[in-house]
Each structure stands twice: as structure tokens, then as C-alpha cells.
Amino acid sequence: MKKKTPTPLTQASSRKLPIIRIVSTEDEMFTKMNLEMEDETHDMLVKWGKEVASDEDYIGIAIRAGLEEYVDALDNKQK
């Protein structure tokens, strides 16, 4: 399974994001699992996940992916 992350925005980018203000945070306990499965099983789990995911879930995923991409870009720039 290849990880998909958004392309980081640069100053030269024509896409501009609106300001996003963090109004509160919550710490949550979670376990990250590295899984192996057949494609059919993966497709079924993705379908189920999309059925129960909220807008906030998608926003959290997007923000986390964007921040990870930004940090990776900074690390690569410093090397």
C-alpha cells in the first residue's frame, strides 16, 4: 500500500489556502498497526471506513498528511 500525501504548497504556488485556526486539541491514545492483506480485503475495509468516517476524520487526515509532507520537505532541504 503506497502512502498518498498532498503535494506541498510553495510560495510560487497558485493555490492559496485560507487561514485555519486551531481552537482546541484533544490527546487520544491509539495503536498504529502495520498490516498485510489481500487487495480485496483492503478494498472492503476502505469501503467500510468511508461509510463511517466523518468530515472531521477527513480534515484530520488531510492536516496530518500536509504537516508530514511539510516536515519531510524541510528535512530534505536541510540535507
Q: What is the pLDDT of residues 23-33, one digit of tens each?
A: 888 888 889 89
Q: Do 3 and 61 meet the contact criterion of CB atoms below 8 Å apart?
A: no
Maximum alpha-carbon separation in the chain: 42
- Which three cell numbers mark 38? 489481500
- Tell me the domain boundaries of the chain: 40-78
pTM of model > 0.85 = no
pLDDT of residue 6: 60
Q: What span, in angstroms and rounded, lies between the C-alpha atoms of 6 and 18?
A: 16
More confident residue, 59 or 13: 59
- Of 45, 48, 27, 28, nearest to 36 by C-alpha is 45
Q: Do 53 and 47 meet the contact criterion of CB atoms below 8 Å apart?
A: no
Q: What is the pLDDT of residues 27-78, one digit of tens each?
A: 888 898 999 999 999 999 999 999 999 999 999 999 989 889 888 888 888 8
